[in-house]
Amino acid sequence: MPIERLLPRLFLIALLAVLALAGWQWRHGAPLSANLMELVPGSTPDALELRAEQRIQEPMNREMLVLVGHADAEKAVELARQLSEKWQASGLFEKVQWNVQADLPALREQLLRGRLAMLPPKDRTEFIEHPEAFIQQRVQSLFDPFGGFSLVPSQEDWLGLTGRIQNGQPMHGSVQLDIGSGALIARADGKSWVLLRARTRADAFDMRLPLHVSALLDEARQQASASDAQLLAASGLLYAAHGQQQATREITWVGGGATLGILLLLLLAFKRWRVLLAFIPVMVGMLFGATACVALFGKMHVMTLVLGSSLIGVAVDYPLHYLSKSWSLKPWRSWPALRLTLSGLSLSLATSCIGYLALAWTPFPALTQIAVFSAAGLVGAYLTAVCLLPALLNGVELRPAQWPLKIAEALMNARSRLLTRVGTPVLLGMLLIFCAAGLLQLTTRNDIRQWIAAPQSLTDEARSVARITGYQPTSQFFLVRGADQQQLLERQTSLSQRLDQLVTQGKLQGYLSLNQLVATPAEQQATRAALDTLPAHWQPLLALGVPPEVLNNELANLRALPVQSIDAVLAGPLGEPWRLLWLGSNAEGVAGIVSLQGLNDAALLREQAQDLPGVQLVDRLGDLNKVFAATQISAAELKLASCVLIVLLLILPFGLRGALRVIALPLLAAVCSLASLGWLGQPLTLFSLFGLLLVTAISVDYAILMREQIGGAAVSLLGTLLAAATTWLSFGLLAISSTPAVSNFGLSVSLGLAFSFILAPWAGRQHESRS
């Protein structure tokens, strides 16, 4: 038989080609990614918005804030210094900073140069409108011993403009500069906390970095507790490290558990070591899936791997299709068994692929990846099962154990006895009542937080760091656009006025906006113009003994100061906190970010942007939650569409009536699962819906098996039982995941599988005549 020799050879050549491709893809190490943001819908096509978002997220993913706390401030400083030296030497960090090394000459220089451009709005208004009061306050401050030290000596700035710029700088949380050591110290809970900032060389999504950083931190914690100190840390890196460790653990559990369970099942049922070869399609499937994923998306997300590991249970169903025929086919030979089941196998592949690929049309890149991974994986497993495995099993005569068949027969008998007492319509009625009551209790919940399984300890610690330091960056921000710098700063000023109100009401902790740092060109001109009125009001300064020529000289210097652009001000040391916020010029004009501290009420923020032209609130998480809700509806539509496709496909072998019956059972199973979620008090999430979408596609397979009835009802049920058991072994294990999204998915698939199995026998022909 030439075809039975040709197929395995052709397949091996194809397999070698895929292996070579995979080898090339992995040449620089694993093409894996852990960036959660890659998995959620990219709802922002706007390049500027995207860039702004990256700017805001970058520090969260690269920086770590560490607080070293000790009852004795000096010990805390010393520990922070040691820690910083050690970390700097580790080579993981670009910069580890525990003290301020202020370049005072540069600061003085910028303050003097920016006297007109950087004067805070309130002081500018007073300077222009009430010059006499301005001078009076200056005189007062010259005698004030507690005004704080001014960086610029009085005689270089007789009007005290630099002092006002210094005082007008937004407060940076509740940390204080310790001028002795230069450390930034906050006091809370009876301890002095020294702030340490570490900036890594790569970001959190470099696969190795987060684990290294987390290990260094753990080591530092031990060291700290040995000297009675406490360490608190907050960083996106730590979440990434945790997520990675968890993903690895779960892949091991789900993948390993499913593999072991399936192998054990195969051995127990078929009693032949060679039957373990049935696992080859699974491995080839995983290879195909991963290769297709990397080829299409450049890399694969760890979440795809976690969810994709459930494919093991589905892929093993293909060999099971013909292996299970060994209970009826005597003697069992691989190629004839395959030929008998080939049409069913192909149908099953087609329906499963339709189900998985339906996921690809949701707006979630995560699901698109999973869909591609799974569809390619199924094709790989199918091809192996059809082309290679029969050749490997050639000559094996299967004499399977009889106990599984006895179970299946017992189940069929139990069912028949039940049906003789209670008719199908009554059972259906009871089932529908169960469903209706369950559905009534069903609640929905959608939140991006379901994607993240952050442990309580990490979030608690981040909250403590925010409380102690006052640094509480929010992910929302405003994006402000303008035709030029003048317009941009004007628009930011309008926004600032509204935000200031929120700050005084205590609803917002603070914000950073470029207009806090530099005045518009027009305002700078106005300040300059006000200089002309000054000589009429500076009598109090003359009265102190300041010579008139000194003051005239000062006036000339101020007039000579140039109008300063945003870029010029940002270049100086005072511009540092704002540098990230300036997006520069683009085709439409210029743009800047207004970053926020300590507010998460998106509705309140959105109000602030109303009727302000060029001002836009960017709230990725809020937008995402909306996308989640909207997707739920489109997912339901997708489900129906995929069912129509499957019906069309099944009309060919089964006719319209048969096709409808075959599709009705998985749909009913899905409704039953929904109802069960309701009874269990579990919320319906987008992920449980996706799970049900998938289970429909998989369980069509069971209905097909039962419909075809090759080898009798009991043997078919046994085939279904084995298929369902293996699939459940892998999906059911997902339910143990600590990521709510993944465990939700696992739970709904498990429920769906159970109901599909129970309902599958009704796909058989004989009952049409009976009922």
Chain residues binding other proteins by CB under 8 A are 74, 100-102, 104, 139-140, 142-149, 153-155, 167, 171, 175-182, 544-547, 550
**Smallest separation, CB 568 to other proteins (Å):** 24
**Smallest separation, CB 139 to other proteins (Å):** 7
- For 357-361, the CB contacts below 8 A with 24+ separation are 358/638, 358/639, 358/641, 358/642, 358/693, 358/697, 359/638, 359/690, 359/693, 359/694, 361/638
What percentage of the chain's residues is helix, strand, coil (to nearest 5)? 70, 10, 20
**Smallest separation, CB 176 to other proteins (Å):** 4
**Smallest separation, CB 84 to other proteins (Å):** 16
| Nearer to other proteins (CB atom), residue 147 or residue 562 | 147
| Nearer to other proteins (CB atom), residue 102 or residue 571 | 102
| Nearer to other proteins (CB atom), residue 139 or residue 283 | 139
φ, ψ at 623 (rounded to 5°): -60, -40
Which residue carries 């970053």 as its tokens? 595
| Nearer to other proteins (CB atom), residue 154 or residue 343 | 154
Are residues 639 and 361 in contact, defined by beta-carbon separation less than 8 angstroms? no
**Smallest separation, CB 576 to other proteins (Å):** 16
- Token reading at 412: 């069929």
> Helix (H, G, I), strand (E, B), or coil: what is residue 38?
helix
Are residues 157 and 551 in contact, defined by beta-carbon separation less than 8 angstroms? no
Are residues 286 and 377 in contact, defined by beta-carbon separation less than 8 angstroms? yes
**Smallest separation, CB 546 to other proteins (Å):** 7
| Alpha helix positions (H), 201-279 | 209-226, 236-270
**Smallest separation, CB 73 to other proteins (Å):** 9
Are residues 347 and 325 in contact, defined by beta-carbon separation less than 8 angstroms? no
| Nearer to other proteins (CB atom), residue 143 or residue 610 | 143
| Nearer to other proteins (CB atom), residue 148 or residue 613 | 148
| Nearer to other proteins (CB atom), residue 97 or residue 223 | 97
Which residue carries 């890659």 as its tokens? 38
**Smallest separation, CB 196 to other proteins (Å):** 17
| Nearer to other proteins (CB atom), residue 155 or residue 769 | 155
**Smallest separation, CB 152 to other proteins (Å):** 8
- Token reading at 422: 């209670």
**Smallest separation, CB 304 to other proteins (Å):** 48
Residue 229's identity, in one-letter code, is A
Nearest alpha-carbon partner for 265 in 702, 725, 715: 725
Distance separating alpha carbons of residues 616 and 610, to the nearest angstrom = 9
Distance separating alpha carbons of residues 692 and 636, to the nearest angstrom = 10
| Nearer to other proteins (CB atom), residue 166 or residue 727 | 166
| Nearer to other proteins (CB atom), residue 540 or residue 683 | 540
Cβ-based neighbours of 581, under 8 Å, separated by 6 or more = 55, 512, 513, 514, 592, 593, 594, 595
DSSP state string for 101-136: ---HHHHHHHHHHTTTTS--HHHHHHHHH-HHHHHH
| Nearer to other proteins (CB atom), residue 147 or residue 655 | 147
| Nearer to other proteins (CB atom), residue 140 or residue 424 | 140
CA 361 to chain centre: 19
- How far does the chain reach from its first CA to its final CA, in angstroms? 45
The H or E element spanning position 198 is strand 191-200
Angle formed by the axes of helices 209-226 and 73-90, to 10°? 150
**Smallest separation, CB 184 to other proteins (Å):** 9
**Smallest separation, CB 140 to other proteins (Å):** 6
